[in-house]
Amino acid sequence: MNEKLTRNIGIMAHIDAGKTTTTERILFYTGENHRIGEVDNGEATMDFMEQEQDRGITIASAATTCFWKNHQINIIDTPGHVDFTAEVERSLRVLDGAVMVICAVGGVEPQTETVYRQADTYKVPRIAFINKMDRLGANFEEALNEIQTKLGANTVPLFVPVGSENDFKGIINLMTQKYITYDSTDQGKTIVENEIPASLSEMAQQWRERLIDSVASFSDEITELYFEGEEIPLELIQKTLKKATIERSALPVFVGSSLKDIGVQALLDGVIDYLPSPSEVPPILGVNQKTGKEVEVGYSQDKAPLGLIFKIQVDREAGPLCFVRMYNGTIKKGTSIMNITKKKRERVNRILRMHANRPEEITELEAGDIGVIVGFKEGRTGDTIGSEGAQILLEEMHFPTPVISVAIEPNTLSDGEKLRAALTTLTQEDPTFTYRDDQETGQLIISGMGELHLDVLVTRLTKEMKIQARIGKPQVTYRESILATATGTEQFSKVIAGKENTASVTLTVKPLPSGSGTNYHCSAKVKGMPELYYEAVKRGVTNSFSSGIQLGYEVCDLDVEVTAIGYSELTASEFAFEACAAMCFDKVAQQANPVLMEPIMQVTIAVPSLFVGEAISSLTSRRGLVNSIESRPSGEYIHAQAPLSQLFGYSTILRSATQGRGTFSMQFNHYAQKQQ
């Protein structure tokens, strides 16, 4: 595999902006599909889960490989719905570039902003595709302005549309100064290039000037040629723009309509021309397990193999399918490899390249490529795999905590074991889904990112896995924290099996700002005390975080410092220090004014301006706080915050208050003290 000819890209956007339709067109033009599958009739290749076809939305990010102009393009189609944020996060972690699909009617919608920020976190270069130019209300310039103002992106339009809505006919290539139309009889495969009509030449010239002006700001050579009035070579513009895109200082913008087969081939050319190959992206960070030092991991075919498992899909026949992005070296079929995160050896039974849901068997996976490994027993999302001799642990993935829970009960005892096995499978696949046994009620509790998230998972249990179960009402996942600082000491002394075990620990707990999580540090140093006792103290405290202070909810936003340790060489034991630290934390936290914390959600409501009053009152009656209202051509957007406990079933209430025309999306923002 020639890495220069490889692109690992993701397609991401807000729900309903046309990501999956765009991917379908890409697969059609690259010859992967002989006919185009449509989302609207449930035939999209990338939405191969039954529910995705029923609901017309993307849930799991599907990986597929296609070829365009001798380049291999690995595409990951990601969900646009906020409940499936983990799918977007895990994909961004392993991508070299991304295509942002933006609707020409809706512009930059809330989830587009979220995904754009996530892409910034992972430093992913992007190009944008303004889609749906054929829709009523499509406005290219308005969408372009929103990309600049809301996302803060430096847009560089490379194509402009000719007409819009029903009159959308084709696009003008500002690089080559050609008017491009697509033949609708063969689904846009035939591209017709013409000279720009006289009626459009002035408009095209203005956009061309703007393009040269934008690119000139990245290159002195282009500026000089421009001022001297000389022709600027196309290769120089492309090279300059590619460099700026990889540095994330420019966002090349393409335009078209995936549904009407206009502009997708130009977008494919843009993926090859402006998004980086695996060797052109900056190195990622890892930790050398021998030295404990941070190292940079750059692309290399010759080094020891190193890859990252970024997704797991459990297949009934084959077992776990581990989606792996390779950074260094080569993994061959039939060999053993080290799971560096779990410190276990795993066997590579088979290697597959996925074409949506149709696998192709290959013999090896090289640096820069994305594929599926079958045969791993211990692999989990975020695990690093590599060689035993050169163990480098890549930065782990961080997923948001689940905020909503429901109780689930099997209908029969025989379904009980099957249910637990199925839940284990789902937690393997989805890191934001968890299940646990409630100690007090004995119920089995499942937790996720939102009502839709849990609804989808429960439907998978009942439909796909054929398990009959009853579901309780949604419950909020609360947290506990403290409002004051407190210090205390705990002594531990017990005779176990004739041997005395003693320990003494002094702790200080203090509150932290919202969203800080939990901190643990130990400033007590005792001469001659073995490291394993310090570890036992840490274990005692950190294990107590999950069991809460008063009500058994996990703790958040507090800092614990161990200030003194009483150690006797003769009677010390790991057990004594762990138990003593846990007891000390319980005692001190009780004195620090403990409080219950509830999840506060960031809510965005889209309504026609006629219903703004009704939408606001429906939210404020649920303890919501409106932060801002933003007017757009498509309606009013209300940005607010509200407690999750007040938002169950809110979509129904909003629909009835706005005659079915209001929609809302929410995502977790922070934990705040629960109001009585």
Tell me the mean pLDDT in the region 658-664: 76
> Given this model, what pLDDT does residue 551 score?
84
Q: What's the CA angle centered on 18, arms 13 and 24, to 5 degrees?
A: 115
CATH class given for the domain over 597-673: alpha beta
What pLDDT score was predicted for residue 125? 93
Look at residue 392 in the predicted model and tell me its pLDDT: 87
Tell which residue, 619, 606, 650, 602, has the closest CA to residue 16. Answer: 606
Closest CA to 248 of 155, 179, 317: 155
> Does residue 334 have a pLDDT over 50?
yes
Q: Could you give the CA distance from residue 222 to residue 212 in angstroms, rounded to a whole number?
A: 8
Round to whole Å and give the CA distance between 247 and 218: 11
Most confident of 15-19, 140-144, 352-356: 140-144
DSSP labels for 238-290? HHHHHHHHHTTS-EEEEE-BTTTTBSHHHHHHHHHHHSPPGGGSPPEEEEETT
State which amino acid sits at residue 614. E
* Phi (first) and psi of residue 451, to 5 degrees: -60, -40
Is pLDDT at 56 greater than 80 in this prediction? no
Top-confidence residue, 238 or 15 = 238
Kindly tell me if the per-residue pLDDT of 513 is higher than 60.
yes
Alpha helices in 591-644 (DSSP H): 612-620
The reported pLDDT for the residue numbered 414 is 79
**In residues, how long is the chain?**
676
Over 80: is that where the pLDDT of 260 sits?
Answer: yes
In order, the DSSP letters of 374-395 are: E--SS--TT-EEE-SSS-EEEP
Q: How confident is the model at residue 49 (pLDDT cuts 50, 70, 90)?
A: very low
pLDDT in tens, 282-309: 888 888 888 878 888 888 888 889 998 8
What confidence tier does 439 reach under pLDDT thresholds 50, 70, 90? low
Pairing mode, if any, of strands 306-315 and 384-386? antiparallel
Cα gap 343→328, rounded to integer Å: 19
Pairing of strands 6-12, 97-103: parallel
Weakest mean pLDDT among 48-52, 249-253, 593-597, 613-617: 48-52
Which helix H or strand E contains 575, and what residues bound it?
helix 574-590
Q: What tokens were used for 81?
A: 């719905």
Dihedral angle at the C-alpha atoms of 380, 386, 389, 393, nearest 10 degrees?
A: -60
Higher-scoring residue by pLDDT: 487, 469: 487
**Residue 246 confidence (pLDDT):** 92
With cut-offs at 50, 70 and 90, classify the pLDDT of residue 254: very high
Q: What percent of the chain has pLDDT over 90?
A: 18
Give, in order, the Cα–Cα distances in Å from 667 to each of 303, 602, 606, 639.
Answer: 41, 5, 15, 12
Of the pLDDT bands very low, low, confident and very high (cuts 50, 70, 90), residue 155 is: very high
Contact present, 555 and 478 (Cβ < 8 Å): no
Closest CA to 581 of 548, 550, 535: 535
pLDDT attached to residue 242:
93
Fold of 3-171+245-280: Rossmann fold (3.40.50)
pLDDT digits (tens, 9 = 90+) for 492-511: 888 888 888 888 999 999 99
Look at residue 390 in the predicted model and tell me its pLDDT: 81
The phi and psi torsions of 636 (rounded to 5 degrees) equal -100, 140
Residue 665: pLDDT band by 50, 70, 90 thresholds?
Answer: confident
Least trusted range by pLDDT, from 14-23, 453-462, 663-672:
14-23
SS3 for 599-654, per residue? EEEEEEEEECHHHHHHHHHHHHCCCCEEEEEEEECCEEEEEEEEEHHHCCCHHHHH
Q: Where are the alpha helices (DSSP H) in 282-328?
A: none
User: What is the average pLDDT value for the chain, to the nearest integer?
Assistant: 82
For residues 288 and 296, what is the distance between their CA atoms, to the nearest angstrom?
A: 10
Task: Tell me the two tokens of residue 228.
Answer: 């001297």
Residue whose entry in the numeric block shows the structure tokens 């080290």? 338
Q: Class of 284-394 per CATH? A: mainly beta
pLDDT tens for residues 525-569? Answer: 888 888 888 889 999 999 998 888 888 888 989 999 999 898 888
Average of per-residue pLDDT across 5-14: 83
The domain defined by 406-475 carries CATH number 3.90.1150.10: no
Average pLDDT over residues 328-350: 88
Q: Which CATH architecture has domain 480-592?
A: 2-Layer Sandwich (3.30)
Residue position matching structure tokens 């599907």: 62
User: In 3D, which of 360, 158, 388 has the Cα closest to residue 290?
Assistant: 388
The residue ranges of every structural domain in the chain are: 3-171+245-280, 284-394, 406-475, 480-592, 597-673
Lowest mean pLDDT among 209-218, 373-382, 543-552, 654-663: 654-663
* Inter-residue contact 465 to 415 (CB < 8 Å): no
| Per-residue CA distances from 12 to 55, 87, 274 (Å) | 18, 11, 17
Cα 343 from Cα 346, distance rounded (Å): 10
> For 132-146, 263-277, 610-624, 644-658, which range has the lowest pLDDT when averaged over its residues?
644-658
253: closest CA among 128, 164, 160? 128
Residue 141 has which token pair?
Answer: 């310039």
**Pairing verdict, β 625-632 and 635-643:** antiparallel
Dist. CA 77–CA 58, nearest whole Å = 8
Compute the average pLDDT of residues 58-76.
72
* Statement: residue 206 has pLDDT above 90: yes
Q: What is the mean pLDDT of residues 97-124?
A: 82
Place 45 in a pLDDT band, splitting at 50, 70 and 90: very low
Distance CA(558)–CA(520), nearest Å, equals 9
CA–CA distance from 151 to each of 96, 117, 169, 182 (Å)? 20, 8, 29, 31
Q: What is the pLDDT of residues 28-37, one digit of tens each?
A: 888 755 444 4
More confident residue, 504 or 40: 504
| Closest C-alpha among 650, 458, 479 to residue 548 | 479
Q: Is the pLDDT of residue 518 over 70?
A: yes
| Token representation of residue 674 | 């629960």
Share of residues in the chain with pLDDT > 70 (%):
89
Res 581: pLDDT? 92
Name every residue whose Cβ is closer than 8 Å to that of residue 97 and which is 6 or more positions away in sequence: 7, 8, 9, 10, 124, 125, 126, 127, 271, 275, 276
Q: 406-475 with 597-673: one CATH topology?
A: yes
Between 187 and 59, name the one with better pLDDT: 187
Two tokens at 239?
A: 């090279």
